[in-house]
Amino acid sequence: MLWCLLLLALAARGDAWLFSCGSSDFHCNNGNCIPASWECDGEADCTDGSDEASCGGKAVTVATKASGDQIEYWFGPVRITQYRTWFGFESSRIEHGSGGGTCQQGVHFFCANGQYCIDSNWVCDGDNDCGDMSDEQNCGGGGTTDPTAPVVPFTGDCGSPAITPQNVRVVGGVQAVQGSWPWQASLKLYGSHVCGGQIIAPNWIVTAAHCVDGQSNPSSWRVSLGSHRRTSTDSTQQDFNVVRVIMHESYDSNQINNDVALMKLSGNAEFNNYVSPICLPSTDVAADTPCVTTGWGDTGSGASTYLMQATVPIMEWNKCNGRQYMNGAITDKMICAGYDQGGKDACQGDSGGPLVCNYSGKWTLDGIVSWGYGCAQAYKPGIYTRVTQFTSWINNKMATN
């Protein structure tokens, strides 16, 4: 069952820091704190908007609704209301306020949905201001329909993307730069994306066992590598049939324990700057380490069209397993990542995908999206398969199959 598919664990970027403010931090008017470098960066990191209120930029004035579910930005006569989704404040409605104003060629950008116009400076800034991503397409990064860099052979090591990931420090879910997470795989059951996975060898994908539970017939599956769009074919894409599905022998569907599986591809992937492997970890990732999870899962209004990414911290195991959080449901085969306040998560379609961390100079696959209680709930972080517990199993299965 893919009903509990889980949490990209993205928590709201605003006021994310739960520790005491340091002398170098920016103090939000509501008493919270953020890194000083986030002030006047065009993102309302404080939920009261105080970090952007006096910057003269996108958020000239920010008013937070009492419900906490939406934020209003005013830019001259234009009002932008952002509503909370699974990936945070990113579903926007842009309209004229009482001050009037008209969309002007050269001053504003006309969104493809025909409903909104936005300031032209907001085009290709990494934010979904139009709500349909039309302001972020053909930008030389996330949202492009064709690669912005030619396909070239990959000569680096695992966990070393040739195309550098952007906005890694952004806690809220954002569209990934095309090709920047080159190990990401889309697992398609009868032609439709249902789970994520990651390439760890030229013809091997690692994913979650619950993705293939009851669906172990290899002929039912196809794997796409080098994809950026979920339902369209990218020019960088490599597609493979599956010749073997190996689910962990001790997978427990009740506990969702030992939630790991392998898929052997029908051929070897061609490693290039859009397709390359992730490293397996040799040690457990430390608590509070910021890691990145990616996928095409449900964002609250349906599955994402483009590959999304979000940064989440590893949660200390005992804290995660405490009564207020997961209440004893976490085994030693699991790790947790996310924020106390929830607000961002991974949902249906992200299962089996990666939680990658970079604490050793390379990205390593420290977690596999596994399960969670609902999506984006407070005190209910995303639960991931602890990959260090399965590196021997993975290597043995690849060697003997």
pLDDT per position in the chain (401 positions), as tens?
Answer: 333 333 333 332 233 333 345 666 677 766 667 777 677 665 556 655 566 555 543 332 333 333 344 444 444 344 445 444 444 444 344 444 433 344 555 556 666 554 556 666 677 766 666 655 666 665 544 444 445 578 889 888 999 999 988 766 555 567 888 899 999 999 999 999 999 999 999 999 999 999 999 999 999 999 999 999 888 888 999 999 999 999 999 999 999 999 999 999 999 999 999 999 999 999 999 999 999 999 987 655 567 788 988 888 999 999 999 998 899 999 999 999 988 875 444 555 589 999 999 988 899 999 999 998 765 566 778 899 999 999 999 999 999 99
Residue 366 a catalytic site member: no
Among the listed residues 248, 351, 366, 370, the single catalytic one is 351
Residue 351 a catalytic site member: yes
Q: How far apart are CA 306 and CA 296, in angstroms?
A: 6
Residue 193 a catalytic site member: no
Among the listed residues 108, 210, 228, 248, the single catalytic one is 210
Q: For the whole model, what pTM was predicted? A: 0.67
* 49's tokens: 């908007």
Contact 5, 350 (CB under 8 A): yes
Q: How far apart are CA 136 and CA 130, in angstroms?
A: 9
* 381's tokens: 């972080």
- Secondary structure element (H or E) that encloses residue 314, with its range: strand 308-315
CATH 2.40.10.10 fits 1-16+159-401, yes or no: yes
Among the listed residues 15, 259, 350, 366, the single catalytic one is 259
Q: Is 114 helix (H, G, I), strand (E, B) or coil?
A: coil
CB contact set of 373 (below 8 Å; sequence gap of 6+)? 4, 326, 380
- In the chain, list all ranges with CATH 2.40.10.10: 1-16+159-401
